[in-house]
Structure 1
Amino acid sequence: MDHAADAHRTDLMTITRYVLNEQSRHPESRGDFTILLNHIVLGCKFVCSAVNKACGSSKTHRSCRGDKCSGKLSTCVSIKGEEQKKLDVLSNEVFIKALVSSGRTCILVSEEDEEATIVEPSRRGRYCVVFDPLDGSSNIDCGVSIGTIFGIYMMKDDHEPNLDDVLQPGKNMLAAGYCMYGSSCTLVLSTGAGVNGFTLDPSLGEFILTHPDIKIPKKGKIYSVNEGNAKNWDGPTAKYVEKCKYPKDGSSAKSLRYIGSMVADVHRTLLYGGIFLYPADKKSPSGKLRVLYEVFPMSFLMEQAGGQAFTGKQRALDLVPKKIHERSPIFLGSYDDVEEIKALYAAEEKKE
């Protein structure tokens, strides 16, 4: 037995140890935020396990609410009329229960639920959590990386929780992150002081710090967009993508990389640089991605890593949503790349 190697493995920076270290820097802290994050981490571990098992688990089968269960992953319909996988239902239940049982939340907004969940008074805390329990679920059947996205707000004062507690600009978030379930399970987190990535070690059952202090390159060589929607794009988006493919300044063309799972596309953008685009178009004039639990958390992470996030009109984190499932266009990624698309929108606005 290699005792030296075993000793080294006990000196790892786990996500629990990291959060406790952060807590120690705030003497006034009561540990509530740490407890909440631990419950989110637990939910991520559970969903990771369920995703890996796919439909082989009896619990996954029981999560199907359709009248027929074929043993496949596509037998349910979501409340918004989109196709919903059984794992979506399970993941949503896992996170709702994990968050409520933490005793630290007061209101929850999930992509899968039409209405917000108000936590009963006896289990109520100070935090509001917005989340997409299983983003990219249309990719489940083909094995593409999917993930959970979340953002955390805190109630400003002691009152009965209401929608105004979550209908705040993204810049008011205390923390945001995502957990990507792919070839490895990676949790990326920011509590407002930079971005760190943790990878799940299955042998320990712990998330280990593997990507400390992530900084997105100032300019990237990759653009990520669904070019199948090109005929419906507005002028600035079309011009930007044309510039990516056929640069006139003598620089190399950018490479197109598009997975179709926001967590996977944003994760690659964060690590390698470049830009992720999901613009408004004729088909979706308000954009397609949801503000509270997709646009805001990812924009928060990008800014914390030194990048930018833009809606086509303003800084993404300055948006004030009016509805919990509101949508918005989004351009996020390397600082210089987002500057370019901002300039194109500014030029378009001047013409008008």
Structure 2
Amino acid sequence: MTAAKEAGTTPFQIDLRRYLRELDENRDLTRLICEIADASKYIVNSIRTGDLGVAGTSNLYGEDQLALDVLSDRIIRKRLLHSGVVARVASEEISEIITISPDSRGKYSVAYDPLDGSSLVDVNLAVGTIVSIYEGDNLLQPGRNQVAALYILYGPRTTMMLSTGNGVHEFAMNQLMEYNLVQENLKLDPKGSIYSPGGQRNKYTPGTEKFVSHLEAKGSKLRYSGGLVPDINQILVKGKGVFLYPHLQDNPNGKLRVLYELNPMAYLVEQAGGAASTGKQRILDLQPQGIEDRAPVFIGCKEDVALAEKFIAEEAK
């Protein structure tokens, strides 16, 4: 029985905090998730009214930071700092892991991308916040050890996809800027009919090219926004599809970051019955060596991801 049914309410009548409480989630984890939800209210306002210019700084990957990137990072970090339940944080916008509390007992560590796809804001496309949560103070561990993951999508509506290890649930921000449950336990079909291919096509390796050609031949529709959050959200909401940003001939490690992007998205997709792979191994089994680690990714419906792995293995022989 779902939390909404147990409470005798319809989905739109139950808010995020109440939902987590009725699932009997850890009180401090609930507080942490709600702090992040509160931070998103200020990020929404910043996207609507803020400076779209360059901040004059760069992140640890050498990418120019937009003013909105820096502001979003500060908003989230401040909420985490004052939550009282966080030991360490790692942000895609800063160059090191920050210790908030030297005593990690009963606390959590958080890796986050404060505004993924921020370069899309000035052309008015959807962007998002991605968050990964672990118990204790170690962020450099396999993603399978996450206790929760979420993303917030800032689009025509502001929505949150959340998992604490018991399925994936969607919440939407209402007029009072509170998150209410939209639907519980989203599920992916075994295979899909849409695909979102990142990376330069003429640099695909033979296995990836064979996989994409197969998707085209069977009539899959190309749906790629240039933003990881909206593309993964489309797959989860529609319940079908696959996203890929593969290894390229001149870039075997792909583009996306393990801590801030791949681990939380892989956790969510697996909780919905899907799969996430580098093309050779499960994303959630990767052992990060540093906060800057990247990896290729094929993520979405299980059978589609398995087929990508098959073609990549065959072409590597």
Could you say which TM-score interval applies, normalised by the shorter chain? over 0.9
Q: Is the 8 A contact 1:47 1:91 kept in 2?
A: yes
1:90-105 equivalences under 5 Å are: 90-105=71-86
Aligned-partner Cα distance in 2 for 1:221–1:213 = 21
Question: TM-score, normalized by length of structure 2?
Answer: 0.92
Question: Gaps spanning 5+ residues in structure 1: where?
Answer: 1-7, 56-71, 156-160, 248-252
For the pair 1:212 / 2:178, whether they are aligned, the reply is no
CA distance, structure 1, for counterparts of residue 11 and residue 211 of structure 2: 49
Question: Match of 1:339, as an amino acid?
Answer: A
Provide the C-alpha distance between the structure 2 equivalents of 1:9 and 1:220, rounded to a whole number of angstroms.
29
Q: Secondary structure at the match of 1:220?
A: coil
Match of 1:277 among 244, 252, 268: 244
CA separation in 2, counterparts of 1:347 and 1:48? 46
Unaligned regions of 5+ residues in structure 2, if any? 1-8
Counterpart in the other structure of 2:6: none
Question: SS state of the match for residue 322, structure 1?
Answer: coil
1:191 pairs with 2:164: yes
What is the aligned partner in structure 1 of residue 202 from structure 2? 231
Aligned to 1:51: 47
Q: CA deviation at 1:10?
A: 11
Residue type of the alignment partner of 2:64: E
Conserved? CA contact 1:150–1:177, under 8 Å: yes
Corresponding residue number in structure 1 for 2:34: 38
For residues 316 and 81 of structure 1, the distance between their equivalents in structure 2, rounded to whole angstroms, comes to 25
**Aligned residue in 2 for 1:146:** 127
Instruction: Flag the 1:129–1:310 CA change in 2: closer, same or farther, 3 A.
Output: same
Which structure has the larger Rg over C-alpha atoms?
1
Deviation at 1:81, TM superposition (A): 1.9
Q: Could you tell me whether the CA contact under 8 Å between 2:11 and 2:180 is conserved in 1?
A: no
CA apart distance, 1:208? 0.9
The C-alpha deviation readout for 1:53-98, integer Å capped at 9, x for no partner, is 233xxxxxxxxxxxxxxxx423433223212210100000011110
* Identity of matched residues, %: 39
Residue of structure 2 aligned with 1:307, choices 261, 269, 274: 274
Instruction: Give yes or no for contact 1:224–1:256 (8 Å, CA) kept in 2.
Output: yes
Q: TM-score, normalised by structure 1?
A: 0.83
Asked if 1:244 corresponds to 2:215, the answer is yes
Q: Secondary structure at the match of 1:320?
A: coil
Deviates most, 299-308 or 76-85: 76-85
Cα distance per residue 1:270-294 (max 9 Å; x no partner): 1221100000112322110000110
Alpha-carbon distance, 1:319 to partner: 0.5
Question: What's the RMSD between the two structures over aligned residues?
Answer: 1.9
Deviations 1:127-171 (A, max 9, x none): 01010000001101001000000010001xxxxx4xxx1110000
Q: Distance in 2 between matches of 1:124 and 1:108?
A: 15
The CA distance in 2 between the partners of 1:238 and 1:32, in whole Å, is: 46
